Structure 1
Amino acid sequence: MKAAVITGRALLALLSAAVLAVTGYTWATLQRVEQSVNTTDVLTVMSDVPNAPPANDGAVDILLVGSDSRTDAQGRPLPDRVLRQLRTEATDTVNTDTIIILRVPRDGSKAHAISIPRDTYVPIPDHREEKINSAYGVTKFFTMQRLQQEGVHDLAEREKRGDQAGRRVLVRVVQELTGVRVDHYAEVNLYGFYLLTQVIGGVDVCLNHATSDPDSGADFPAGPQTISGGDALAFVRQRKNIPNGDLGRITRQQVFLSAAVSRLLSAGTLTDPAKLSGLLDAVSKSVVVDDGLDLATLAKQAQGLAGGNVEFATIPVTGVGARNDRGQSIITVDPAQVKAFVAQVLGEKTPTPTTAATTAASSPAPPGTTERFGGGKVVSLDGGPRAVAQQGPPCVD
């Protein structure tokens, strides 16, 4: 049984630190968040990657990754009871089923997030073409296999080095597909998402129709509802019995992210000692970020995210449900079209008004999808609403 992880978990962990700083919450608390996050030097070792996109200074591009790892962020296997709660005890593969690029302008203007479908078929360095969600996993597997043959007998060491190699290849694949230079990396696993939704008291969603899927554990009525824990996982990983399969699931993930951000900011999580402790526990067990990501600096850059005003997009595809030579269902893309679409949606990192206006007028974006799920909703940093243009979450399939 395949598992997918919600797009927004990494963003929520980072956003919590941003809100702490913006609200003037104690520096000690911000430090507690930073100390809870596990780090990786994956981007440090990316400096020698050939043909990497150029780095610019006008915005921060963060690669957000949802991992279905059956270990916690320290590499410790999750107990069977936890796997049963996650409804994933039958799966032992490692996939990154949620991949999103988040651009946060340094001037505090609107952020943009672009999702990459998990089944997107891409070349994997030193391997063959595979679904993009397997780039991390296959690289980790072959790296661990090679290390064992070289005499590295310590499993924990092989896991650590395998994870590092997997992250490095995933970053490289994303950069080559989108043309975006990854400035920072943030990864969250299944367990953290489960814990986070419990801490914030669930997330409000709405479905157009009742739906079920035994593979994901989804079984939901039509209409608005609040979900958390295993139900929240099922909501965002359901692929069967919803329109457009993986693309339909991305729509769910995006609307869930918007609702989760709103709930995080309005639930008093950051001012309630018990909830904050729960958040820090979730972060320590599930979040991995690159060691160059300074949450305090990101907080100043991410103030515009506090109202949940993020525009979402999904890369354009040329085929859904195609089959590769092994009979696997894949999503095909035109790499040039993807790069053009991403450049149009994200814009230049250091745009000028003339350049931006000319680009928008003369170079229409290829046929991807863009949506806004914030509904104009704005919340104050202490959780109280300032203006609400839409009541309740938007309904999706």
Structure 2
Amino acid sequence: MSLLVMSLTGYAWAAMQGLVSALTTTDVIDGNKPADGARDILLVGMDSRTDAQGNPLPEGLLDQLRAGVSDGEANTDTLILVHIPNDGSKAVAISLPRDSYVAIPGFGKHKINSAYARAKAAERKKLQDAGQTDSKSIEVQSNQAGARTLIQTVEQLTGSTIDNYASVNLLGFSEITKAIGGVDVCLKDNVDDPYSGAKFTKGQHTISGVEALEFVRQRHGLPRGDLDRVVRQQVFMAGMARKVLSAGTLADPGKLSSLADAVKKSVVLNQGWDIIGFAQQMKGLTGGQLEFRTIPVLNMDYNTPEDGQAIQVDPAQIRKFVSGTTGESQPAQPTGAGPAKPATTVDVRNGTSRAGLASTVLQTLTSKGYTGGQTSNTTARKSTVVRYPAGGQAAAQQVADALGSGATIEQDPTVTAGHLVVLIGNDYSASSDRVAQQAAAEPTENPAPAPGDDQPITANGITCVN
């Protein structure tokens, strides 16, 4: 949300060189990724009890923010993919519900909001086991690992290449809303939620600070739970964009100064992002050219093996939705027995105790048109992964989709060009494969609707929501 504010203030920020030099940055984006004619930005709202510099927030402030008891994990409560063509003429912000059950590279299938925390915890343990004792260095490196894994997860799920990354914490959200003088929202009915503290009457309100946090964090007592919370976040961001685009904000040095101070305390960006150049690119964007959408979902009450109830999604359907929403074409994904590229040979290695599984999996893949390679056993492993050489990412994703069991992909320089290596983990199941085949063969004509009133939310006008 903070980054959206930054981008939409455009030319008003271009002169604020002091802000740019004071921003906190992190090394999480590969600068060698090819340009694809657009900019894709991952916005992350962190359930963090620290500021952008890693300093703990005072307990008194956390009480004011109704932050609740921390579970010690760096979970990501808000995930939004923003797609902007290079001419800056429009922007589409696509929400990813935090409980979406997806494949996380290196960790198997889990809720997407745990991707950051899982990778951060694993990296912290790795560094500590290696003998590192500098707590600040460990924190920086583990946070970078968390962000990188989250970025890879979103890329794999959506088919987009993330060009920029920005995260904001609880404090930042509260301070930014106060800096711009509040945001106008509208509710269809009265709400009184003891969990988030949200207590509002039906109709329009101008909210900021703690009230703003309560508004966007409520999910208990809403007809569609987390999906309604996603809509809340979208209409709030639309209202924020509308407020920032107004002359009253852009022409007010005091508001801009307060906004800059709030962003410096709470926002983390990827290294190498030319914010001033980006602001200049975005200065022509208007409220009507900013849309908010939500990925399609299959089942809101999906029972997972380890993580309780989650939101079931279909990655192939999501990639199709994202490409259609953004106007960008995506590589065709294999469905049913669609043929693979003839030059791709798949080798399968069994990392489970099930005898003959490598051969079974290879037969499944060859029946879909892939070229069969060698089969063998490998060391025991929990998760299934498809490893690919440089330039083989698209082919690896096709194989991962064909496996249908939550397989993730990762680049491996030891894999021979023209080959892919499938490492089967204990999470692989033939039943998952059959479900994936059925879903591919019988695409849902009317998937579970995206939250809202079937129309994308924009920054023009105020939309009343649950």
What TM-score, normalized by structure 1, do the two folds share? 0.82
Structure 2 vs 1, CA of residues 366 and 60 (structure 1 numbering), >3 Å: closer, same or farther?
farther
Q: Distance in 1 between matches of 2:152 and 2:119?
A: 12
Superposition map of 1:280-299 within 5 A: 280-299=260-279
1:138 is displaced (CA, Å) by: 1.5
Summarize deviations over 1:193-227 as a string: whole Å, max 9, x none: 11011111111111000012211111111111111
CA contact (8 A) 2:38 2:85 kept: yes
Does 2:27 align with 1:41?
yes
1:96 is displaced (CA, Å) by: 0.9
Q: Distance in 2 between matches of 1:347 and 1:210?
A: 38
1:95 is displaced (CA, Å) by: 1.0
Superposition map of 1:59-78 within 5 A: 59-78=38-57
Q: For the pair shown, which has the larger CA radius of gyration, 1 or 2? A: 2
Aligned to 2:457: 373
Q: Distance in 2 between matches of 1:284 and 1:106?
A: 26
Deviates more, 1:277-286 or 1:160-169: 277-286
- Please state whether the residue corresponding to 2:73 is helix, strand or coil: coil
Q: Which amino acid aligns with 1:334?
A: D
Q: Count residues in correspondence.
A: 349
Summarize deviations over 1:34-62 as a string: whole Å, max 9, x none: 123211120038x6xxxxxx733421111
**Residue 115 (structure 1) aligned to one of 89, 95, 112:** 95
Does 2:12 align with 1:20?
yes
CA contact (8 A) 1:316 1:338 kept: yes
Q: Distance in 2 between matches of 1:366 and 1:96?
A: 29
Unaligned residue ranges in structure 2 (runs of 5+):
331-442
Q: Distance in 2 between matches of 1:198 and 1:219?
A: 19
Aligned to 2:402: none
Q: Distance in 1 between matches of 2:154 and 2:210?
A: 29
Structure 2 vs 1, CA of residues 365 and 252 (structure 1 numbering), >3 Å: closer, same or farther?
farther
CA contact (8 A) 2:76 2:98 kept: yes
Superposition map of 1:88-103 within 5 A: 88-91=67-70, 92-103=72-83
Q: Please tell me the root mean square deviation across aligned C-alpha atoms, in Å.
A: 2.3
Unaligned residue ranges in structure 1 (runs of 5+):
1-7, 22-26, 48-53, 351-362, 378-389
Superposition map of 1:248-259 within 5 A: 248-259=228-239
Summarize deviations over 1:258-304 as a string: whole Å, max 9, x none: 11111223373443333222111111111111112111221232234
**Residue 30 (structure 1) aligned to one of 8, 12, 16:** 16
- Please state whether the residue corresponding to 1:72 is helix, strand or coil: coil
Aligned to 1:9: 2
- Please state whether the residue corresponding to 1:151 is helix, strand or coil: coil
Does 2:199 align with 1:222?
no
Deviates more, 1:297-306 or 1:234-243: 297-306
Q: Which amino acid aligns with 2:50?
A: T
1:365 is displaced (CA, Å) by: 9.4
Summarize deviations over 1:308-361 as a string: whole Å, max 9, x none: 5311111111110222123522001111111111111111289xxxxxxxxxxx
- Please state whether the residue corresponding to 1:371 is helix, strand or coil: coil
Q: Distance in 2 between matches of 1:323 and 1:364?
A: 20
CA contact (8 A) 2:8 2:283 kept: no
**Residue 167 (structure 1) aligned to one of 144, 147, 168:** 147
CA contact (8 A) 1:310 1:372 kept: no
Aligned to 2:168: 188
Structure 2 vs 1, CA of residues 364 and 319 (structure 1 numbering), >3 Å: closer, same or farther?
closer
Deviates more, 1:306-315 or 1:151-160: 306-315
Superposition map of 1:270-349 within 5 A: 270-307=250-287, 309-326=289-306, 328-348=308-328
1:33 is displaced (CA, Å) by: 2.8
Aligned to 2:463: 394
What TM-score, normalized by structure 2, do the two folds share? 0.71
CA contact (8 A) 1:175 1:181 kept: yes
Structure 2 vs 1, CA of residues 268 and 11 (structure 1 numbering), >3 Å: closer, same or farther?
same
**Which is bigger in relative contact order (C-alpha 8 A, separation at least 6)?**
1
Aligned to 1:243: 223
Instruction: Give the share of equivalent positions with the same residue, in percent.
Output: 47
Structure 2 vs 1, CA of residues 232 and 308 (structure 1 numbering), >3 Å: closer, same or farther?
farther
Aligned to 2:137: 157
Structure 2 vs 1, CA of residues 294 and 308 (structure 1 numbering), >3 Å: closer, same or farther?
farther
Summarize deviations over 1:97-122 as a string: whole Å, max 9, x none: 11111111112322111111000011
Aligned to 2:60: 81
Q: Distance in 2 between matches of 1:125 and 1:322?
A: 21
Q: Distance in 2 between matches of 1:231 and 1:269?
A: 20
Q: Distance in 1 between matches of 2:54 and 2:445?
A: 41
